[in-house]
Amino acid sequence: MPRHFADRLCEAVKSKKTALVVGLDPVYSRLPSTIKSHYESSTEEFDATSAVDAIFDFCTQTMQVVAPMVPAVKINIAFFEKYFWEGIETYYALISEADNLGLEVIGDVKRGDIGHTAELYAAAHLENPALVGLEDTLAPDAITINGFAGIDGIEPFADMATRQGKGIFVWVRSSNPSAAVIQDFADADGQTMYEKLAEIVGQVADKAERIGKSGYSNVGMVVGGTTPKVSTALRQKYDKVWFLVPGYGSQGASAADCVRFCKPDGTGALINASRSIIYAYEKPKYKEQFGDDWKKCIEQAVIDAKMDLANAMETLM
Amino acid sequence: MPRHFADRLCEAVKSKKTALVVGLDPVYSRLPSTIKSHYESSTEEFDATSAVDAIFDFCTQTMQVVAPMVPAVKINIAFFEKYFWEGIETYYALISEADNLGLEVIGDVKRGDIGHTAELYAAAHLENPALVGLEDTLAPDAITINGFAGIDGIEPFADMATRQGKGIFVWVRSSNPSAAVIQDFADADGQTMYEKLAEIVGQVADKAERIGKSGYSNVGMVVGGTTPKVSTALRQKYDKVWFLVPGYGSQGASAADCVRFCKPDGTGALINASRSIIYAYEKPKYKEQFGDDWKKCIEQAVIDAKMDLANAMETLM
């Protein structure tokens, strides 16, 4: 049995001195040209297998660059599902690579359903398979889930995560333009739907068997970084919860917005940046400095993002 | 370009004279013993590949039995994800088999996310791949999605479905015990969250390019069958929408509850039964009649369910 997921997160965030998580959302057409040209020239016909091989290569090299600097990576399965079963095999291969590099791995899968189906999804995405022929496959350390079904649809994931020493992050509030229509839908007392959902997640998170030595639960919340009022209120109310905060960087949330989810010691939130890091080599400011050395660009983007978040933390305190 | 999805559904429902859809939620341990023993004895070591081969065999034979009798099958991807990439390959292989048998295929995938990720999921699950090496793979005719992100998270799926002559069903209201806490969350005027979500789906569905010759949209709703008040109101309000109704059979919704989603000509709803059909051979009443002939048990369960729904339709009118 591995140590409690939340305790591993605390240790990783403290040792890397940052809440920054690198999100892997790889699109073939945006890969560095050196990687693309290698795979396009090495096969007679460029096919789906070549594309996923190139994506695997890019993601592995990216993780090797970022592993000494960040506690975790978030792998977005949608970008792998596009390549059907070959993409899924690559997704799991990357989880093993990340594990070898000492990174915590969050599978951004947003699964959600009721009853038996929720149990099956939990088994698929959180249980290290004991199946013969697949026993070397690793499930991620945590996944994101969709809690639209209410507590029935959350508990099967939380139970499986707890049994496996893993974690879940329930999607509570996103920062896309139309999110408010549903997620801020408010009752007669002004309580919003996402606040109601947060209460349910808070109850699931609070169960004694889910709390680690660090005082944190293995059940967390996904909350977009663009709403500072939301972040401050949720951080205060749900003391035992880790927040996974998307939207830092390309999606427009500032460092100041995001660090409001952290506690003063820097734990309690994972702040995800995807495109602003993994495509850093597209940005003039890095390109001018490092030319075609795309890994140097990514490395520098991580250094800059960590500094940006550290400065924001200091201003906050 | 195939014909409009909603028009294909109308034709299929009229020709098979039923709204019944068979849901494939296959669990290895519940497969007929003749199938299990074949796969367990034919390999030295029973592994994940043997399990998915057995599941493929069972589902294919089941579809051959039901294809002349029902308009569509619903394949629940969670039961395949449990077997990782091998499961996903089997899921797509079954879609091709269903297509060969003339069945409409609904991929029950409940995907949902924002922006670019929603586009990627839509490509993965609704676009027949043009990728070299995968060009023989078929995406399903329609999928279920999760609309928690609001309209931003629904439109990318609706657009892709429309371009591909396919459909989507947005999860609006489920019938699990805890669903009400979130989905019936009500504002000061008494409007519930699921009604708000239904309004959004109704707007997406109503766009001219999404309406077929039948007058129906390719954008539908998933609504559990256990709440008759809900069904009558939604059917009246959303005239152009197909409802996908889970919960008939094992999950406790009666035929009378479910047929309220149908229009008088029998179109407008797909009523799904999964376990009550595919595991019919476990039931004493079929076992006594047909012994080990599990396919006869499934066939009779379909005949009985069709009759039950037809009788309920007659009572309603």
Whether pTM exceeds 0.90: yes
For residue B305, the tally of other CB atoms under 10 A from its CB is 23
For A163-175, b/e burial (b = at least 16 CB within 10 A) is: ebbbbbbbbbbbb
Q: Look at residue A288 in the predicted model and tell me its pLDDT.
A: 96
Q: Which of A16, A82, A110, A166 is catalytic?
A: A110
Residue A94 structural domain: 5-316
Average pLDDT, chain B: 94
Q: Look at residue A261 in the predicted model and tell me its pLDDT.
A: 96
User: A131, A151, A199, A275: which to substitute to probe chain B, counting the most B Cβ within 10 Å?
Assistant: A131
Query: CA dihedral in degrees (A289, A294, A298, A304; nearest 10)?
Result: 0
A132·B25 Cβ contact <8 A = no
> For residue range A157-179, what is the model confidence (pLDDT) as tens digits?
999 999 999 999 999 999 888 99
User: Which CATH number characterizes residue A141's domain?
Assistant: 3.20.20.70
Q: How many CB pairs under 8 A join A and B?
A: 197
Chain A residues with beta carbon closer than 8 angstroms to that of B87 = 124
Number of domains in chain B: 1
Structure tokens at A8: 């591993």
Q: What percent of chain B has pLDDT over 70?
A: 99
For residue B317, the tally of other CB atoms under 10 A from its CB is 7
Task: Name the amino acid, one letter, at A196.
Answer: K
Over 80: is that where the pLDDT of B132 sits?
no
Over 70: is that where the pLDDT of A106 sits?
yes
Chain A residues with beta carbon closer than 8 angstroms to that of B44 = none
- pLDDT bucket at A230, cuts 50 / 70 / 90: confident
Distance CA B127, CA B163 (A): 9
- pLDDT bucket at B1, cuts 50 / 70 / 90: low
A151·B181 Cβ contact <8 A = yes
ipTM, two decimals: 0.96
Helices (H), B165-281: 179-183, 193-206, 228-237, 255-259, 275-278
Average pLDDT, chain A: 94
Q: Look at residue B317 in the predicted model and tell me its pLDDT.
A: 76
Q: H or E stretch including B270?
A: strand B269-273
Reported in sequence order, the residue ranges of B112-178 that DSSP labels E, i.e. its strands, are 142-146, 167-173
